[in-house]
Structures are given as structure tokens and as C-alpha cells.
Amino acid sequence: MFRALILAGIASLGIHFGCSDDEAESPVNNPANNPNDLGTADMAEDSADDSGTPDVDSGGGDCIQATINGQWELTLADDVSVEYSAEISPEVEGAVRQVSVLFERYMPGADVGTFDLSQGGDNNFGTCAHCVFVRTDTAERAYFTESGILESTSDPYSRRADFSLSGLKLIEVTVNPLTRESTPVEGGGCVEFADFEVSGVFPPEEWTCPAETYGDGAQCNCGCGAYDPDCATGGDCLPGAPDCPEPVELPVVGCQESEVCTFDPVAASAECFETCDWAGRAGCTTGTCVFDSGANDGKDLCILDAIRIAPGVGIGEDCPSTGYQMVCNVNGGFAEGYCDPNDVCRALCNSNEECTEQGHTCQPFLFGESFGYCGPEPTDG
């Protein structure tokens, strides 16, 4: 499954690699750029004319001797990839460039250890799990790793970087825009780096609490504008994985003792919610007691947002389409219906025998569980 995910991630990175924005400066399919021509002489002349300082020659001869000259930033983060970038000095090909360290997840788990970037797939842009490169002005050419040692002591996917690179040398390569396979340019340029370390916390832009508290492993910080991974109690294991350690629930900061911190789709942030006991009929002080359909680690929540509740819609009736998952058929402060993918209020169930309508079976909310709603088999679309 992770191999399929990473192929999608590689395809998306190919687009990212060719974007023309602040984070990725390479325009896609620009006919003015010859991927086999550095244009070094022209750029050196322009640079000297504009700034009075001749450009650094990256073609032939000795390698450019580069150092990190800017703050590290997290420039890409998704389920299978995370990229950290910083400006370097001197200029490469007449422009200030960034070096990027990209981690790509081929297997579950933390990416921690020592990695020789000259072998094991990391020596080609099309197969690397630990990719170090400098972009140029075209998506079809870059400077990619020939050699170097990467040491990572914390999981880079957690947005907490703690890694170092030594003996790093990048060489000029052409890049296949479809497969991202890299091919060294004969007689091409190269960039050698002084050894460097990267250490820091890079929370999402929405994070409003101190950066160092994000994912610190000490406590769940709620109401910080973005979801703190420390609030997740489900662990990192795949469903059904053997030998999965029991997850540890950390103390919550920002919520009352009777509340939990979970993602609020309406507010688009992590918020405190009062809990209730739907099965035990222990209701809410305010709001509607809504059963957990798989997103809240088994905790039933008191929901106040009217856009998520259809209290007057009975079983078999149409639910309003609000863009949010809704519940319905509210009785005595408890939601007793679920708005299915076709926006129809359905009865809740634990077995097929409880579903009396022709063609309906119990559709579980979670794979391998019994609790769900009575309805037809879901169809694509």
C-alpha cells in the first residue's frame, strides 16, 4: 500500500519540482530553456553587468564550494513526503538557489538512521527515499547527489527535523519529467557542501502556540489553530498490524477534564469537545450526544454545530446537504440516525438482522467492527 502511495507522491513531486513559485522556481516545459545548456557564459556576463560581481562558473573545472546561507523551511509535507529547504551561498548559475532535503516514505515508521546517499537507490532522483538536490531554472535539469552521508535522529515526517549531512557532493543531472530518473551530464557542473546540521520544529502555518510545543511528546496542546499529533491516541500502526504497542494518551492542555481535543471540521482546527456516553445514555450538558463513527478514538462527542445535526429529519427522510457529515433523528438529546452518502437518514445497527428494509444490510463505520447504519451497499460517486 505504501509503495502505491509513494508513486502518487513521486508524481505529485514532479509537478512540485516544476512549479513556478517561491518554493519551486523551475517553470514547466519552458521552450526558452535548453536542458542541456547551462548558458553559463551569458549568465556570468549578465550577473557581472547587474551586480559588478562575476558569476560562479558551475560548468567544468572545480566544484562550487557551497554553504548554507538561510533559515531552513519546511517546503513540502504530505502523507508520503516531507521536504526541508534552505538558501545556499554562493550563487549557482547566476541565481540564489536552495538546497532541498526530501524524505519519501516507502515503508511505515520513522525514517531514522545513517544513510549512504551514493547507493541503495538514493543515488538517483527516480528511486531515492532520501533525496538531496538543487533546482535550476528548468524542471528537466538539477544538481543531484553523487555522494554524502545523511544521519537522521528523529522522524522527519513529524515536522521535527534533526539530521546532518557530511561529505555532500551534487552533480549536474538531467531529469526525466515522467519518471524523475536522473542522468549525470557529461562534463557537467558540481556543488560540494561544507558539512551541516538541521535542527528545528516546523509546525503548520495555522499553529498559534509556541513552535516547540508542537508534537513534543509531552502533552496534547488543544486550541492551537492546528491539530497537535500528540492528541492522537490511535498510534502509528496500520489496522490489524501485529505487535502494535499500546498507545499512550498524553495529558491535554487547554481543555477541561471532561473534554477531549479533536479536529473540528467546521472550525478547521483542533478544539475541545465535551464527551458523553451514547450507548450508556449519559447525555450532554449542552449540544447533541453523537456516537463515534470511527474518528474520535471511541469517544462520543457533544456537538453544538447546527450544520452537522439534522434533529428533525427522521429515518428514511432526506438530510440537508451541508458539505459536512451529518447525523439525524435526534431523540432526547441523542442522535439515533446517520446521514448516508446519498444524504438519507438511516437507522443505526450492529447486525444485518436489525435492517428490515429490502436490500439493506448493516454498513459498519469501521472495517472489522459491527456498529454502523442500515443501508444499501455504497456505490462509487
* Contacts for 168 with CB less than 8 Å, ≥ 6 apart: 117, 132, 145, 147, 148, 192, 193, 195
The CA distance from 1 to 6, in Å, is 9
* Residue boundaries of the structural domains of the chain: 2-201, 211-375
The label of the residue with cell 446519498 reads 342
The pLDDT-based confidence of 281 (bands split at 50, 70, 90) is: very high
Beta carbons of 149 and 167 less than 8 angstroms apart: yes
Mean predicted confidence (pLDDT) in 300-329? 95
Each residue's pLDDT tens digit, 184-239: 999 999 999 999 999 999 999 999 999 999 999 899 999 898 888 888 765 555 55
- Asked, as a colleague might, if the bond just before 90 is cis with ω within 30 of 0, I would say yes
> Is 344 a residue whose pLDDT tops 90?
yes
Each residue's pLDDT tens digit, 109-121: 678 999 999 998 9
Question: How many CB atoms sit inside 10 A of residue 319's CB?
Answer: 21
The pLDDT-based confidence of 304 (bands split at 50, 70, 90) is: very high
Question: How many CB atoms sit inside 10 A of residue 227's CB?
Answer: 23
Return the C-alpha cell found at 211: 513552535
The CA distance from 169 to 268, in Å, is 42
In the chain, the percentage of residues whose pLDDT exceeds 70 is: 79
The CA distance from 266 to 42, in Å, is 54
Each residue's pLDDT tens digit, 16-51: 433 333 333 332 333 333 333 333 333 333 433 443
The CA distance from 266 to 352, in Å, is 33
The pLDDT-based confidence of 248 (bands split at 50, 70, 90) is: confident
Beta carbons of 72 and 84 less than 8 angstroms apart: yes
Mean pLDDT computed over every residue of the chain: 83
The pLDDT-based confidence of 244 (bands split at 50, 70, 90) is: low
Residue 245: the pLDDT is: 63
Model confidence, pTM: 0.66
Each residue's pLDDT tens digit, 111-167: 899 999 999 899 999 999 999 999 999 999 999 999 999 999 999 999 999 999 999
121: left (phi over 0), alpha (psi -120 to 50) or beta: left
The CA distance from 351 to 274, in Å, is 29
